[in-house]
Amino acid sequence: MPGYGLTTAPGGKGLLPWSWASQRIAKARRYWVATTRPNGRPHAMPVWGVWIENRFYFSTGARSRKARNLAAIPSCVIGMEEGIRAVIVEGVAQKIRGSKPPAAANKAYREKYKMGLDPKLGPIFCVRPQVVFGFIESETEFATTATRWVFGGKQQTF
C-alpha cells in the first residue's frame, strides 16, 4: 500500500496471501457497493452478493440508483460489512446480458441466500477487480499485514 510507509512486497514478511482475501470476500454475507452518480457525488448501499472465480456478482433493481450509476460510470468499490479484517475491491461492473446468470454464481447465491439471482427482478452485475486491498485492523498487525493485489497491471498479481 504505497504512501502509508508500510511493508513493501520485497520485505513482505507478514503480507496477507491472496487466499486470505478471497476466502473473506466469499464468506461475507453482506457487502457495500459504492458507485458514483453522473454528477460525481458518491453513493453507497448494502447488497447481497457472491464471489466466484475472482468475480463479484450481485443484483439490484433496474431503476435503482446503483444500476443507473453503473450504467453511466461502471467503476465501483465493493467492501464487506466487517472492517476489522477488511477486504476492499476496486473494480469495473458489467451488466450480465441474457436471461441467465452464470451457473456457478447462481448456485452459490442460492446456497447462501436460499434464492437465486433472477434477472426478472433486476439486472445482475459482475464486478471484475482491478485492485484489491486487505488488512487486519489492530495496532500490532496493520503495518505488516496491509496488502494490495493488482489485477492485469504491470505489477505482480496474485
Q: Is 4 a domain residue?
A: no
Question: Which band of pLDDT confidence, cut at 50, 70 and 90, is reported for residue 8?
Answer: low
Q: Which domain holds residue 63?
A: 9-147
For residue 59, tell me if it sits in a domain: yes
Let me know if residue 2 belongs to a domain: no
Tally of domains in the chain: 1
pLDDT-based confidence at residue 11 (cuts at 50, 70, 90): low
> For residue 70, what are the CA distances in angstroms to 37, 112, 138, 157?
8, 25, 34, 26
* CATH number of the domain encompassing residue 87: 2.30.110.10
pLDDT in tens, 113-147: 999 999 989 999 999 999 999 988 876 777 778 88
Report if residue 113 sits inside a domain. yes
User: pTM to 2 decimals?
Assistant: 0.88
Residue 60 maps to a domain: yes
Q: Is residue 141 part of a domain?
A: yes
